[in-house]
Structure 1
Amino acid sequence: MLSRYLPIFILLSIVAEIFGTVGGFGSSVFFVPVANFFLDFKSVLGITALFHLASNITKIAFFKKGLDKKVILQLGVPAVIFVMLGAFLSKYIDPKFLTYILGIFLIVLSLFFLIFKKFVVQATTRNAITGGVLSGLSAGILGTGGAIRGITLAAFKMNKEKFIATSAVIDLGVDFSRTVVYYFNGYMRKDLLYLVPILIVVSIVGTWIGKLILNKMSQEQFRLIVLLLILGIGVMSILFN
C-alpha cells in the first residue's frame, strides 16, 4: 500500500516535520498518525524512531545556539531511561487504551495553560524529572512523547530557540535508546529501510521551512501555537484512535 501512495506519504511527512518544528516538540506527534494510515503500528514505531533520529540531528544543527544543559540533564536522563522501559512494554500493552489516556491528558493540560495564562510551573528538578519520565514512557509505548515534553517546556516559558534546541537534544537520546529496543523487538522491517534516506531529506526540508515560519513569530505567539497544537493532538488522539 505504501509504495502506491509514496508521494502522499512524503508530502504528509514534510507537513508533520514543519508542524513539529514550529511546535518545538518534534514531528512524531504528527508523523505517527500519518504513518498509521500506511503501516502496521509496530512498523510505525520502528520507522518513526529512525525518522526522528534524522529530524533531531537536523534541528540541533539549525538551533544549536539555544541549548539549556541543565534542563537536558534533568528532563533528558529520566526520559532516556523510561523510554527503554516503555519500548519494552510496547510488546504487551494495548496502545489504543493508552492513546485515549494520552489524549485526555493533553487536552486537560493544554486547556489549563491556555485559560490560566499567568500560571507558571516552577522550574524545579522535580517537575523536570516528572516531565521526562512521562514523555519517555509515552515515546516508548506510543511512538511519541514530544507533546508531554512540549507541555513541560512550554510551562517553563523558555524562549523558542532554547525550547527547540533543548527538546531536540533530549529527543535524540530518547530516539537512539528506543531504536535499539525496537530493533530487538523486531520492529525494523528491512523492506522499509529504503524510506530512511527519503525521510532524512524530509527532515531537512521540513525543519528549514519551520524555521522560516518561526522567524516571523513573537515569543507569545510561539507559546500559544505550542499549546494549540498540543490541544489538537489530544483531540485527534481520541477521535481517530
Structure 2
Amino acid sequence: MTLNIILLFLGTIIAFWISAICGGGASLILIPILNLLLPSSVVPFSLTIGTFTSSVSRISVFKKHIKWHIFFWFVPFSIPAVLLGAYLIKYVNPNYLQLIVAFFLIANLPELFKTKKLQKENQKPYSKFLLALIGFFAGFISGITGAIGLLFNRFYLRFGLKKEEIVATRAANEVFLHLIKLIIYISLGLYSSTALWLGITIAVATILSSYTVKYILPYLSEFLFKKIGYGAMVLSGILLLIGTSDKIIQQDKISLSTVHKTSESESIISWRNTDFIIEFAFDDGFEVERPIKSDELPNIVREKYNGMKNQYDTIYIEKVFSFGQQPTYEFYCYKNNQIIKKLEI
C-alpha cells in the first residue's frame, strides 16, 4: 500500500499539472488508477477529496481571473443535479456512465486538426439558458462518477476564455459541487478507510500542483493550450474506454463467439448470463435471437408449446427479431440430449 500511495502522489501531481494545462481532466486520468485500488462505488469519494482541494487551491492562486457571470448561471443549476446524481449512485452502475463519457471525449478528435483561424471562428459566448443546462448536466454526471473536468472542457475552450480564466472559472464552478458530493457520499456510506487515505494523498498532491502550475502556464500560447486540451480529452477517452470496457466485460460476464454453418453465420453475445444471438443467413438476412422462458410466450404460441412439451425431454425457446417484421419464435426440441426437431412459429 505504501508504494501505491507514493505512485498515486507522484501521478496526481503530474495529472493536475496536465489538468491545469489542458483546462481540466485530472480526475478522468486518475479514475483508471483508482479503479485498480478501490471498488467502483468508493472511487468517487477519493476523487472528490482531491478535486475539492484542487479547486480551493486554484481559486486562491487564480482568483482574479474568475468570470463571475458564468459562475452565477452555472452553479445554481448544478447543485440540485449533483444531489440527484449522488443519490442515484446506489442504483446506477457508474461504469456504464463512464463508458458514455469515454465516447463523448473521443468525439473531440476533429478539434485536433482545426487551424487557429477555424478555432477562433468557433469561439462564441453561450446563452444563459445553455449555461444553466450545462451546469445541470455537469452536476449530474459529477454526482455519479466523481469527475466532470474533461467532459465539459469543450464548453470552456469554445467560450473564448483565456487559459488562466478557464482554470479559475472551472475551479469556482466546481468547488461547491465537490463539497456537496463529499457530504452526500459520507451520509450514504460510500467511503472506506482506504478510500480516505488515497483521497488525502490526492489532496496533498493537488495543493503542490496548483501552486507550481502558475509558473508553467505563461510559457504556453492560447492555441497550444487548447490543442493540448483537446488532445487530453481524446487520450483520456481512449484510456477510459479501454479500462471501463474491461471492467464491464468482467463484471457482467460479456463474451462473444461465432458459429459458421453452411448457409448462415451466428454470433452469440452473452451478457449477465443471457445470450443474444446475432444470425446472418443469405436468404433471411440479419436476425437477433434471445433465449426466453415459456411464460414469456404469447397465449397462442404458449398453447402450441403446452401441446408439445410432454413429447420431449427439453424444449429451448428463442424469440427472433428481424428487421421490418414481427417477432417469431423458434423451438429446439431435445430427447436423450439430442435435438429431434426445430420448429419456427
What TM-score, normalized to structure 2?
0.65
Task: Report the more deviating stretch, 151-160 or 120-129.
Answer: 120-129
Shift of 1:168: 0.2
More helix by share: 1
Shift of 1:66: 0.3
Partner SS, residue 103 of structure 2: helix
Q: Rg: which structure is higher?
A: 2
Q: What residue in structure 2 maps to residue 230 of structure 1?
A: 233
More strand by share: 2
| RMSD after superposition | 1.9
Q: What residue in structure 2 maps to residue 107 of structure 1?
A: 106
The unaligned stretches of length 5 or more in structure 2 are 245-345
Q: What residue in structure 2 maps to residue 185 of structure 1?
A: 188
Partner SS, residue 37 of structure 1: helix
Q: What residue in structure 1 maps to residue 93 of structure 2?
A: 94
Partner SS, residue 219 of structure 2: coil
Is the Cα contact below 8 Å between 1:10 and 1:202 reproduced in 2? yes
Q: What residue in structure 1 maps to residue 139 of structure 2?
A: 136
Whether 2:124 is the aligned partner of 1:126: answer no
Task: Give 1:198's match in structure 2, choosing from 196, 201, 204.
Answer: 201
Shift of 1:88: 0.8
What is the percent sequence identity of the aligned residues?
23
Task: Give 1:215's match in structure 2, choosing from 215, 218, 222.
Answer: 218
Shift of 1:26: 5.2
Is the Cα contact below 8 Å between 2:50 and 2:199 reproduced in 1? yes
Deviation string 1:140-159 (CA, Å, 9 cap, x unpaired) is: 11111112331111110201
Task: Give 1:158's match in structure 2, choosing from 151, 156, 161.
Answer: 161
Distance 2:199 2:144 in 1: 22
Paired residues, number: 239
Q: What residue in structure 2 maps to residue 73 of structure 1?
A: 72
Is the Cα contact below 8 Å between 2:45 and 2:199 reproduced in 1? no
Distance 1:121 1:111 in 2: 20
Shift of 1:89: 0.9
Deviation string 1:131-176 (CA, Å, 9 cap, x unpaired) is: 2122111111111111233111111020111111110011101101
Is the Cα contact below 8 Å between 2:79 and 2:177 reproduced in 1? yes
Greater relative contact order, per chain length (Cα 8 Å cut-off, separation 6+): 1
Whichever residue aligns with residue 139 of structure 1, its letter is S
Shift of 1:199: 3.1
The unaligned stretches of length 5 or more in structure 1 are none
Shift of 1:201: 2.4
Shift of 1:212: 2.2
What TM-score, normalized to structure 1?
0.91
Q: What residue in structure 2 maps to residue 14 of structure 1?
A: 13
Distance 2:173 2:162 in 1: 16
Whichever residue aligns with residue 225 of structure 1, its letter is I
